[in-house]
Structure 1
Amino acid sequence: MHSEQILQKIKNENLRPISRSVFLFRKVSIWFLLAISTIFGAYAFAFFFLKTLYIDYDNWHYFASSYNRFLIENIPLIWVVLFILSLLLIFYLFKKTNKGYKYSIVFIGAGSLIISFSLGVVLSKILAQKGYFIEEFENERVMNWTDPESGRLSGEVLFSDDQYILLRDIKDDVWNVNTIYLLDNSKEVLQNNQLVSVIGRYDYENNFTACQIIPLNIDKMRFKPNPKNRPGAHLNQDNSFVNDICDLVINGK
Structure 2
Amino acid sequence: MKKKINISDKTLRLIEQRQIKPIPRWEFIVKNWSIWLGFLTSLLLLMLGVAVSWFGLIDNIITPNLWVVVSIIFLTMSFLLFERTKKSYRFEKWQVGLVIVFVGLLMGGVLFRFGVASRIDRGMESRFSFYRQMVPMRMIVWNNPESGYLSGEIVSIYSASSFVIKDFNGKLWNINGNQPIVRGRVKMVVGEEIKLIGTLVSGDTFDAEEIRPWDGMGQNMMKENRY
Query: Are 1:175 and 2:164 matched, yes or no?
Result: yes
Q: Structure 2 CA distance, aligned partners of 1:3 and 1:82?
A: 52
Query: Are 1:229 and 2:218 matched, yes or no?
Result: no
Tell me if the contact between 1:172 and 1:227 (Cα under 8 Å) persists in the aligned partners: no
Q: In structure 2, do the counterparts of structure 1 residues 41 and 237 end up closer, same or farther at CA, with 3 Å as the change threshold?
A: closer
Q: In structure 2, do the counterparts of structure 1 residues 116 and 91 end up closer, same or farther at CA, with 3 Å as the change threshold?
A: same
What code does the residue aligned with 1:132 have? R
What code does the residue aligned with 1:42 have? M
Tell me what 1:140 maps to: 137
1:55-78 C-alpha deviation (Å, 9 max, x unpaired) = 27xxxxxxxxxxxxxxxxx74221
Query: Are 1:21 and 2:26 matched, yes or no?
Result: yes
Deviation at residue 6 of structure 1 after TM alignment: 4.0
- 1:45 pairs with 50, 63, 66, which one? 50
Q: In structure 2, do the counterparts of structure 1 residues 176 and 77 end up closer, same or farther at CA, with 3 Å as the change threshold?
A: closer
1:115-154 correspondence to structure 2 within 5 Å: 115-127=103-115, 132=119, 140-141=137-138, 145=142
What code does the residue aligned with 2:105 have? F
Tell me if the contact between 1:144 and 1:232 (Cα under 8 Å) persists in the aligned partners: no
Q: In structure 2, do the counterparts of structure 1 residues 96 and 110 end up closer, same or farther at CA, with 3 Å as the change threshold?
A: same
> C-alpha root-mean-square deviation of aligned residues, in Å?
4.4
1:1-253 correspondence to structure 2 within 5 Å: 1=4, 2-55=7-60, 75-127=63-115, 132=119, 140-141=137-138, 145=142, 155=145, 174-175=163-164, 199-200=169-170, 205=190, 225-233=208-216, 234-235=219-220, 239=224
Q: Structure 2 CA distance, aligned partners of 1:131 and 1:117?
A: 17
Q: Structure 1 CA distance, aligned partners of 2:81 and 2:165?
A: 60
Q: Give 4+ residue runs of structure 1 displaced > 3 Å after superposition.
A: 1-14, 133-137, 139-145, 153-156, 171-174, 233-239
Q: TM-score by structure 1 length? A: 0.52
1:94-133 C-alpha deviation (Å, 9 max, x unpaired) = 11111213322211111111111111111111126x9636
Q: In structure 2, do the counterparts of structure 1 residues 22 and 200 end up closer, same or farther at CA, with 3 Å as the change threshold?
A: same
> Where in structure 1 are there 5+ consecutive unaligned residues?
57-73, 146-152, 157-170, 178-196, 207-219, 243-253
Q: Structure 2 CA distance, aligned partners of 1:131 and 1:102?
A: 38
Deviation at residue 226 of structure 1 after TM alignment: 2.9
Report the identity percentage: 20
Equivalent residues, number:
172
What code does the residue aligned with 1:140 have? M
Tell me if the contact between 2:52 and 2:118 (Cα under 8 Å) persists in the aligned partners: no
> Where in structure 2 are there 5+ consecutive unaligned residues?
126-131, 147-159, 173-188, 192-198, 201-205
1:150-192 C-alpha deviation (Å, 9 max, x unpaired) = xxx6636xxxxxxxxxxxxxx9764366xxxxxxxxxxxxxxx
Q: Structure 2 CA distance, aligned partners of 1:19 and 1:102?
A: 26
What code does the residue aligned with 1:113 have? V
Q: TM-score by structure 2 length? A: 0.57
Q: In structure 2, do the counterparts of structure 1 residues 230 and 28 end up closer, same or farther at CA, with 3 Å as the change threshold?
A: same
What code does the residue aligned with 1:94 have? F
Tell me what 1:71 maps to: none
